[in-house]
Amino acid sequence: MKIYFDTCSLQRPLDNRSQLRIATEAEAILGILFWLSETDTLDLISSDALVFEVERIPNVYRKHYVLELLKESNIFIELNDEIEVHAKTFHAIGIKPLDALHLACAESAKADYFCTCDDKLLKKAKTLKEIKTKAVSPLELIVEVKEP
């Protein structure tokens, strides 16, 4: 099973957990990442788009944390013309440019799941009928990912 986490979902474990939703999503992501490290059943996907966005994180601790996570990826997607064209089609329906690139990278990697904490992005990504990658929240992903 292949999973592409966007930048906001990779950072979720570092967010203030005073809200129940954030605390629950953080634990879901940590659980999935732990399971990724302990089993060979899940593949973590990284991309040029993720590295670009992570490099722009101003908080050094957050940046380092996410870059270390991305080192655990066993699939890396380099941007190319096809991905950029695909991203433009997502942008045309109202998805922000960088989010569109993440989604196009996930689709290019044939990811089973694209995980995000961004409600607006998730809502728009779920309307896309022409992609095979399923857009999910961290809580939806924890339900989808079942032990064999």
For 46, list phi and psi in degrees, rounded to 5: -120, 170
Contact 79, 105 (CB under 8 A): yes
**Tell me: the pLDDT tens digits for 74-129?**
999 999 999 999 999 999 999 999 999 999 999 999 999 999 999 999 999 999 98
pLDDT over threshold 70, residue 73: yes
- Return the pLDDT at 37: 73
- Return the pLDDT at 49: 97
pTM of the model: 0.94
Higher pLDDT, 99 or 34: 99
Q: Residues in the chain, how many? A: 148
Domains and CATH numbers, the chain: 2-144 (3.40.50.1010)
